[in-house]
Amino acid sequence: MDNTIKKTGKRKLSELDLISSNEGKKIAWQYFLNFTNPTNVSKEVKSDLWKNHQNNYNKKKSWTHSYVNTLTKLWLDKKPTFFINSRISQKRKGILNSIRKHPLDYYKFNLNPFFEMLDIDNIQLTQQQKNIISFIFDDEDVRKNMYLNYKDIGFTEAIIKYYIKMFYIPVLRHKGKEVDIFKRFKIKDADKVITDYLLEHIINNSPKGEIRYQTDLKFHITGDKRILTDKHPTDETIGNISFKAVSISKTKTALIHFKQTEMRYIYYKLYKKYYDIINDLNFKMLRAGKI
């Protein structure tokens, strides 16, 4: 690949390699967790340098580390890009304390790096299987839990470990024992949200495109015609299932974001409804994890 960084004495590291490299993985995890920008990433991964910069009042308050900038550009320019881009307007003080809006680009990793890693290993997912993986690992809480458990490795490898530990093994262990899997669930309440239509939406039409920085919401509750007037996330419940919701237009339904336990139940329902697809996906994920 053309866009690479040289590894001393050895081969060059590709954009994908850099996600799991010693310094690269720290930067990559910041972009995987949520929408952010090079300045905020520099503050997290180069905190000592950031503090030194803040103490130097001769410099501007905005500062980014050169290596963070380099990796950000490589991942953004990759074809297909490794990033989802969201432009956020922030208020800044101007001349005579006037307030003006200043647009800034924020980035978050999509799942193209993971799919590329599988392709290199000659593991091809179907589009429906990619939709399932995207549904699970686009979720902000899932990404945070991955970081807490696997931050010492790159997020591409962590996806495999997390999938096997949190979804494949629990469902395999309790296969056919629906009530035993999630005792804290009242199944009748869960099924008000996790409908067949929702399962079909996940497997056939995974959400794409930009997601607003202020929200961690992923897809529609289809059939729920309530329209929320507030554009900021609000807590909603259907039965004992809690989620966050936000209005996106006067004609579109609310978006939702599930908890980890409910995500597992959705996976279980997908497993029951689309057994062949999920079973083949499990085989491929085990192969990717060399299990």
Provide the b/e sequence for 145-155 (b: ≥16 CB within 10 Å).
ebeeebeebbb
The CA R_g of the chain, rounded to the nearest whole Å, is 21
pLDDT at residue 89, as a whole number: 66
- Residue showing tokens 């299932």: 241
Per-residue pLDDT tens for 68-118? 999 999 999 999 999 998 877 666 666 666 666 667 889 999 999 999 999
Looking at per-residue confidence, does 187 or 87 come out higher?
87
> pLDDT band for position 191 (50/70/90)?
low
Poorest-confidence range of 98-107, 230-239, 279-288?
Answer: 230-239
Across 108-133, average pLDDT? 95
Q: Looking only at Cα atoms, what is the longest distance across the chain?
A: 68
pLDDT at residue 107, as a whole number: 93
- Checking if the pLDDT of 6 tops 80, the result is no
Residue 197: CB atoms within 10 Å: 12
> pLDDT band for position 130 (50/70/90)?
very high
Region for 96 from its dihedrals, namely left if φ exceeds 0, alpha if ψ lies in -120 to 50, beta otherwise: left
pLDDT at residue 246, as a whole number: 42
Cis peptide before 38 (omega within 30 of 0): no
pLDDT at residue 204, as a whole number: 79
Residue whose C-alpha is closest to residue 268's, from 207, 182, 186:
182
- Tell me what the pLDDT averaged over the chain comes to: 74
Between helix 275-288 and helix 127-137 the angle, nearest 10°, is 70
- Checking if the pLDDT of 49 tops 60, the result is yes
Token pair in block for residue 58: 């001769």
Residue pair 20/154 in contact by the 8 Å Cβ criterion:
yes
pLDDT at residue 210, as a whole number: 29
Chain-centroid distance of CA 274 in Å reads 23
Chain-centroid distance of CA 231 in Å reads 21
pLDDT at residue 46, as a whole number: 81
- Checking if the pLDDT of 214 tops 60, the result is no
| One-letter amino acid for residue 81 of the chain | T
> pLDDT band for position 229 (50/70/90)?
very low
pLDDT at residue 36, as a whole number: 92
> pLDDT band for position 286 (50/70/90)?
very high
Residue whose C-alpha is closest to residue 38's, from 132, 90, 88, 105:
105
Residue whose C-alpha is closest to residue 105's, from 81, 121, 129, 128:
81
- Percentage, residues of the chain above pLDDT 70: 59
Across 121-145, average pLDDT? 92
Across 129-140, average pLDDT? 90
In sequence order, the 6+-apart residues with CB closer than 8 A to the CB of 20 are 28, 153, 154, 156, 157
Give the range with max mean pLDDT: 28-42, 99-113, 164-178.
28-42
Map out the domains of the chain as residue ranges: 5-110, 125-288
Beta strands 255-256; 241-245: pairing state: unpaired
